[in-house]
Structures are given as C-alpha cells and as structure tokens.
Amino acid sequence: MQMTRSFFLNSAVIGLVMIALLLAGFSAASPQMLTKGNIYNILVQSSYLMIFASAQTMVLLTRGYDLSLGNTVSLVSVITAMVLVSPWGQAAGAPILLAALCGLGAAVMIGVLNGTLVAATGLNPFIVTLGTMYIVQALGSTVSGGFPVSGVPAQFMALSRLDVLGVPVQIWTLGLATLALHMLLKWSVYGRSLYLVGANPTAATAAGIKTRMVTAMAYVCCSAFAGLGAILLTARTGSGEPTLGANLTLEAIAAAVVGGISTQGGRGGAVAPLIGAVLITLLSNGMDLVQIDGYVQQICLGMIIVIALTLDRFRR
C-alpha cells in the first residue's frame, strides 16, 4: 500500500502524466499542437526555462530562493550585448568569447554576493535576494540607459540557429544541462553535501560539512546557470534586453517545484526542472493555440503550483 502511495505521489510520474494529458487535450482542441514546428517550438522554449529552473533548483535544495535571478538574466544580457558591440570588444579578436566571459563574470559576482549574505549572516534568503534583486535591476537599467542594446554581430545570433547532427542546439542544451546537473548533484561530493544541508543542516554540521560554504556555493551555481541561460537567450533575441528576465524568476521556481523539487530542501533531482519546464511551456503553448486569455493562463499556472506544493507536503 505504501509503495502504491509513493508511486502515485512521485513527482516524475505526476509530471509525465500531466504532460500526456495536456498533449491529448490540446491536440484534440487544436490540430497544430502535434505539428513538427510546434513541437520544435515547445522544446526550444523549454530548454531556456529548464536552465533557469536548474538554477533555482540549486538554492531550493538548501531551503532558499533566489529572487534576483530574473534581473541577473537581464543584466547579463545587457553586458554581453554591450561588449559585443563595443569597439574594444571587436578589437579583442574573439568578441563572442570575451562577451560571454564578461556576462558570466557578472553573474558569478551576483551569486557570490547573494551566497555571502545568506550564508554569513543567516538572514532569510527571501529578504536577501529581494534586496539584491532591486540592486541588480538598478544596475541593468543604469548600464543600458533603460533601452535595449542592439547591433550584436550576426555570428552571435547564429548560435541560436545551429544544428548539431541534425538536432537543434537548444535540444542539445536541454539534454546537456540535465546531464550536467545530474552529475553535479548525484556524482559529486558537493552534490551529496547539498542534499544533506538542505534536509538537515544540524546533522550536516555534526557530520563535519561546511554548511555555510555549501550554501554560498549554491547561490554561485544558481547565478552561473542563470548567466549561461541569459547568454543563450540573448543570442536568440539578438539584443541586450534590460527587461529580458522580467518574468523568469517565478517561472523558474514554478518549473522546479512543479517538477518535484521540494521547497523544504534536500529533495529532488536533475529530471525535476526538465519535466517542470516542459510541462509549463506545453501549458502556455497549448493555451495560446486555443486562444485562452493570458490572465487565465496565469490562474492555471498558479493552480498547478499550489497542487505541486500540496503534493510535496503529502510526500513529507
């Protein structure tokens, strides 16, 4: 009986069942749902959201949140584009590499700030990252002047249109990001420490784990994932957008939670953000196809999050 209950409360099973039901329902309502072009679009959109959900996964496993993620994405986008279009960036000989390094460097610095404040002070992650969210937002608006940074090289935008062995680069990104997160969480000493710190910080400290360092590194990894996603998303949009990550923070948290990452820490795996990202993207795409109002879409997403949180509580 217990095994049956655990199976039906398993996040991966629930997520896959919901994806199947959504596919069946939307394909019956719209013949465009299962077309090759639409499936491609869903996977492409999912790949970006999955990276950001993976970022939030790192801090959710420590019972934290990163509310600055969306604005980090915006700032990285602006910095990357500005380096690409600047004369000194062009003169560097490898502007794309330099721009990517500058963008990732900015993201890591934000992660270090968040991690240091949360780990060293013991302050609530919600409050800390709420504060840094406004700081990063102000930096992005100041650097860009509040306007998009256009004129990025065509070679950079071409990165979003690459095919590798006939498969779009975004789908490769989806798979590689999942594999990288799985290896980090399951095969590394840090990953095992992360789970223990999230599940029971007192026991982790007693076991000799440097809980503050593990927690701080979770925020650094979160921002690094966000920076990578921001660079890829900037290549797709073709400009540095100061509002690029406006809605990404909550969408990323939603994807991680819906996929099965526990908000109480210490539970969930690399497949969770993948399933959550596909489910949320599929829901949004399907409702667009059947012309459901955007506000109704937000209500549906909110209901799914509440259901996911309720199931998480039952699992515990």
Query: What predicted TM-score, i.e. pTM, was given to this entire model?
Result: 0.91
Is residue 6 over pLDDT 90?
no
d(CA 111, CA 102): 14
Q: Residues 279-306: pLDDT tens digits? A: 999 999 999 999 888 888 888 888 887 8
Q: Is the pLDDT of residue 195 over 90?
A: yes
Q: Work out the pLDDT band at 163, boundaries 50, 70, 90.
A: confident
pLDDT for the residue numbered 1? 42
Tell me the average pLDDT across 268-284: 91
pLDDT tens, 83-126?
998 876 666 666 888 999 999 999 999 999 999 999 988 889 99
Q: Is the pLDDT of residue 312 over 80?
A: no
**Torsion 186-181-256-61 (CA) sign:** positive
What mean pLDDT do residues 250-266 have? 87
Query: Across the chain, which distance is largest between two alpha carbons, in Å?
Result: 67
Per-residue pLDDT averaged across 229-236, rounded?
93
Position 51 scores a pLDDT of: 93
Indicate whether 267 pLDDT > 90: no
Distance CA 252, CA 57 (A): 9
**Per-residue pLDDT at 239 exceeds 50:** yes
**Average pLDDT across the chain, whole number:** 87
Share of the chain above pLDDT 70, in %: 93
Distances (CA, A) of 192 to 115, 195, 265: 19, 5, 13
Among the listed ranges 6-15, 68-77, 129-138, which one has the minimum average pLDDT value?
Answer: 6-15
pLDDT at 5: 44
Tell whether the model's pLDDT for residue 3 goes beyond 60: no
Angle between helices 189-199 and 211-237 (to 10 degrees): 110
How many CB atoms are located within 10 Å of the residue 53 CB?
33
Highest mean pLDDT among 32-36, 115-119, 155-159, 311-315: 115-119
Choose between 170 and 64: higher pLDDT: 64
Domain boundaries of the chain, sorted by first residue:
2-315
pLDDT for 107: 97
User: 2-315 adopts what CATH topology?
Assistant: ABC transporter involved in vitamin B12 uptake, BtuC (1.10.3470)
